[in-house]
Amino acid sequence: MSEPILRAQKLDAADELAGLRAKFVLDEVVYLDGNSLGALPAAVPARMEDVVRRQWGSLRIRSWDESGWWTAPERIGDRIAPLVGAAPGQIVVGDSTSVNVFKALVAAVRLAGEGRDEIVVDATTFPTDGYIAESAARMTGCTLRPATPAEVPDVVTGRTAAVLLNHVDYRTGRLHELPGLTAAVHEAGAVVVWDLCHSAGALPVGLDEHGVDLAVGCTYKYLNGGPGSPAFLYVRRELQDRFDSPLPGWNSHTEPFGMRPAYEPAAGAVRGRVGTPDILSMLALEAALEVWDGVPIDAVRAKSLALTDFFLECVAAYLPEGAVESLTPVAHAERGSQVALHCPGAGDVMKRLIENGVVGDFRPPDVLRFGFTPLYVGFADVERAARILAGTLS
């Protein structure tokens, strides 16, 4: 038995989170694509059976009150809050990540006030964030200025209204320094918006601790909420009474059933709501989040780093030197919960990996991405994935 296999066995035996794997619907496939779509928590199907047959089928309209449908966006937001370092009452769930980025960015410009006419956007951002930022700039009369996260402290000025940044780079898995960048934006008097899509549920974020203004994130990756599950919006408590959403829907009205012609925003994070919540997806997410009960995010982060360390060790042990190149930083402080490998012909390589029972994903032109979800990925999975990758490239 090889040394990596023995190491994997020892690491799995000592893993305090190993028991959580049984709470997911998994098979013999090594699933390393949780950074795109998390695995199905085992409790979700039965919960959705109840939602559809009893809450919708029997109670029907009564479920808005009797089943708690109306309060679901804030209730589920409070379940997410501890995972991103937020106190209750600051997160609302609903809409897509893209819609929430738009709400947050336009609201950030409005919060910044007069005399600021520039939006700084992460030049390495996920494309949609860039598209939204460009549109928000046109709508608010701002100039759009792309800059890498490392450049932000040097480019923000008294003109800057808002800065939109990604916590983790979706291609490389690089973790950006949220506390320092937030402080730099605030020193310039601007408002910061963080995209947490690749960090929420994978590592500590510390939104309250670091004074983040606004943040958005998806729930179908490390939070395992299911395909198209609703995103979340964080509005720091001190800013809530000034949060001016560009999408003032009836759900965020102070008296939603008053049907008044004039809009008057509700108090608190409820201002982030727009229209009728997507109840089926919302309640699937709520059931999925139950796997987090009693799970400390620090333990998740420790295992994430151990998994990615071990994967890089196995890749080095099994693959010839130069066969692949890691684009993910070695330093723990700069690493999210994925490993990105530069590999010639990566698209075809990933297809062969999937055929052989290892599911990751491919980003053009030549990047293999492997996401490590600590709640259900084990060290034996990691060793097997590296071994099959070596066989695929041989």
Residues that are catalytic? 126, 195, 220-221, 369
Q: How many CB atoms sit inside 10 A of residue 294's CB?
A: 6
Q: How far is CA 324 from CA 3, 42, 315, in A?
A: 21, 36, 9
H-type alpha helices, the chain: 3-13, 44-50, 63-66, 72-80, 97-112, 127-140, 152-155, 178-187, 279-288, 297-318, 346-355, 379-393
Residues ≥6 apart with Cβ < 8 Å to 53: none
- List, as one string, the DSSP characters of 99-166: HHHHHHHHHHHHHH-TT--EEEEETT--HHHHHHHHHHHHHHTPEEEEE-GGGHHHH--TTEEEEEEE
Say which amino acid occupies 354. Answer: I
